[in-house]
Structure 1
Amino acid sequence: MLDVLRKGPEERFDRITRMAQQLFGVSAAAVTLVTDRVQVHKSQHGPMALGDGPRETAFCDHTIRDSETLVVEDATVDERFAHYPSVVGSPHIRFYAGHPLVGTGGHRVGALCLVDENPRSFGEAEQALLAELASWVQRELDRTAELDSAARVQQALLPRCVPEVAGYEVAGMCLPAGSVGGDFFDWYHAADGQLVLTLADVMGKGLPASIIMATVRAVMRSTTRHADPGQALTQAALTLHEDLERTGRMVTLCHARLDPERGDLHYADAGHGLMLLVRADGSAHRPRGGGLPLGVLADQTWTEEVVHLGPGDTALAFSDGLLDLYDGTMDSLDQIAEVVRDCVDATHLVDRFTVLARRLGVRVDDVTVVAIRRTA
């Protein structure tokens, strides 16, 4: 549930083991996690290399059975550990001290431990210092759990199903750069049957941006009564301005309504400017943007623009994180347009960008895409 085993080394844990190893002058310091079968070293530092192994022959298996620090001053004379492979063989552990770490459910899941190839004593003052460093590791584990919970909430705020619009294909995706992000997209049917779509990018990343994101989403949903996307943005800006000003945030946003009978996409752009219209004949251009982002001026107004979608045409709105999957500049639009031409439908198109984003692994920005294609 902590989702730290699959992520490999992380600097937030590595800095703690580096400090512990230097502070205590031991052969190795490590953050270990104990599963039902094995012990895994999430982080380790020092000249002694510690290998993962079976739980039943791990010192930390004993550590997590108690809430106090476990100290083994000489493993060769302790009947619990004298027969362990790591004691009788490489790396020839003699000294061990470990303080347990607790998961979100209250279970002890691992330890911050010290290991040395020579026996040594470990007094109360040193144990208190090790426990203090372990509390630092504990805070990082707690932060992981909090971010995981926040990520689940944020994912739940994204659309759960694709809207059905006769004659059109609609698809979208949002991949945060970290656990949570400041991008979002939304869609829903208005009372008049038209499809309302929103794509927004909150300035900044992480948990602060995600809080603003949820606020902006809620406010934009309340503007459904406005048929004109420009009026909807103007009303939302008035509602959000004080909050955005106090938090020092701005939001770029594209808000649109699709009239499926006429094939018209009515939209208003608040400093976003990242839309691409690819025609059935392969030509591509950026629809006109305009206006400032939300959070700049309290009395800012936005006007409605319209693009017509003919059979086979695709309208694509996206965050600037999509550009970062290429060279990060507007020159990437040619490559993005080529992907649009190459895809058979809107879902295929969004899937292509999703695969590309996941292949890059670590992303510097959130990636969000919404695609609308009118079927031929």
Structure 2
Amino acid sequence: MDNFTAHRLRFVTEVQSIIELNEHQGSAIRGSLFHALRGQFCTYRQASECADCPLVATCPVAILVSTLKPGDRRGRDVPRPYTVQPPLPGRSGHPFELPGGRIVFRYKPGERFEFGLTVYAQALQLFPYVVLTVHRLEQTGIGRRTEQADGRWRRGTFVVQEVWAENPLTGERQPVMRAGDNLVQVPDVPITHAQVCKYAGEHIAQHASHITLHFLTPTRIVERGHLLKPHGFRFQPLFQRLMGRLESLSRDFSDTPLVFDDPRGLIEAAGRVRVVENRLVWEELRSYSTRRRAGSPTSGLMGSVTLVADDWSLFLPWLVWGQFTHVGKDAVKGNGWYRVGWRMENEGWRMKRMENGE
């Protein structure tokens, strides 16, 4: 885990023509990135998916658009090495109800449209493809086809104004690209394991007694075939899923895979973490795959839950990491994004926002 890094990018764009995104905005952004990557870089369109492509071993973007990693011993079912950080409701976009009650978020010409993308470890070498893909979206558009000002139906468009690399743990920000630039800077403010451990250690040293998890996007945790719902929330299955995600990301995209010293003991300790305040709700959502021509549930936990543990040092470094890796189903689409807050002993509530300016 020592060499595992996360590179958080923020894309700041200006809307050129009306953009409408489905209620699950992260799914819409990820879907647009998928089609733009495949449309621009796929050289063997006859294959219905990457697994059937004879060129997959030399394809530079297969691991971005599929769960394949050419040359990896596992081959299939590796996690995708990035997550989307979608716009959060109430902070941008205008909720709009379509006939039938369906909600979309609308962005008008001249408004700002921002989203984040976090790329992990060795996948940073694919960053130039990501930038080229976002530029392609300037032309092809994003979201639903809507009637535009000229009366034609097409996807809305934007122009990239700025791209920033950001490290919320250190407060560093690096301009990667600005409108009119001919050169793109490689992101160089990584979130590292050493920074995570230092950050977690500082707050453990301050005797944090309670921790609050704020779920910003639907978080879908499955335990033994059953969904973890608000009324029955327990910390253990959430933390167990997080352990698995950190292990798989570090194994597949870094040369220092995470190996927990006593995973069984850690899971048992997670079972002793207690819920003291539960403000969780269940948000029903579905996303639609144009590739599969089918919808799939992306519902999950939203809201916040406050927890107490005898020793947070066992869990806090991994919870800090989870803010950047997300946890649970559909993380690549932006699901499972959360932030950590805490209460200091005898000092009331303190909240640490993990995003600059929020």
Category of TM-score, reference length = shorter chain: under 0.3
TM norm structure 2? 0.22
Say which one has the larger Rg: 1
Superposition TM-score, scaled by structure 1 size: 0.21
